[in-house]
Structure 1
Amino acid sequence: MISRDDFVGRFGGVFEHSPFIAERAYDAGAIAEPLTFGGVHAALARVFRAASEAERLGVLQAHPDLAGRLAIAGELTEDSRKEQAGAGLDRLSPEEHARFTELNAAYVTKFGFPFIIAVKGLGKADILAAFETRIGNGRDTEFATAAAQVEKIALLRLQSMLPEA
């Protein structure tokens, strides 16, 4: 059986900067070998959903702005950097960057957490369209949408780390 330290070391960052999720899943006995992305995701997602609203908000707030200051400064996690680059967010025109910056600021002001979307398979235009639509949501709807996107990001990360069976 994989040790707690090894499990948390390997999967503690699947939910951005939130190792408590991997710790709780392991401590609850929810981790079974062989490790598969589906099994690990189910265990981690259960913990995320059972966390307090404040803890889930903390997970949302741990995510970086899309094409934001951390990306410019080169301070994204490796997973976030790859995900944003895959969607072309590292190659924005000055006008596109200005629009992302404007939307990021408005979104965080309105909701208290950054805009979160699983960018795999999306392009800049898709992401901007979703951003512009979702900023019109109410907070409860957007909190639920962002939480679902966090779970999707975690699944995509796990799929790159583990086999299904």
Structure 2
Amino acid sequence: MKYLVFILMSIFSCFGVLAQDLEKMDEVQRDKYLISLSTQVIKKFGPDYYRNVAPIITEGTFESTDKRSEVKNNIGRKYYEVTYFYDKSKEILDFDFSAKVRIWKDNGEPCDVVFGNGYGKNFFFLSYKEQTDAQAIIDVVPYQQASNSNEDIWIKE
């Protein structure tokens, strides 16, 4: 019986660590978690936008003019933003990053991901877990470079 209680307490403490407030983690542990999770999100929804580079981690507060309750309820929540840049001498994207993932500070769950072509996914209406479970059909964002701005788009007669 003692062993059963010990095992149950250990399991519950593990769940507590997983749902931990990221602000309470030490910086090294938190950054490893953020990079690991953001890499997983990018590879799941836009694998061609993943760049094996050291990302930049910043902090922010969620703002939106969207009136839908699923979005509106998150206004004021704090997040970490993990941004992956790319080599501009090798490719041209619409944004200066290949991918950017926002992760909620209070529960460590992804908020959204935006790719360098402007497309992305959010996790307001269906959580990341719901969108990636075994039965989920994942729409992968296809890789698309920006059109060359030096290109002449006018029809010549």
Query: What is the TM-score with the length of structure 1 in the denominator?
Result: 0.27
Higher strand share: 2
Larger Rg: 2
Which protein has greater RCO, CA pairs closer than 8 Å, 6+ apart?
A: 1
Query: What is the TM-score with the length of structure 2 in the denominator?
Result: 0.28
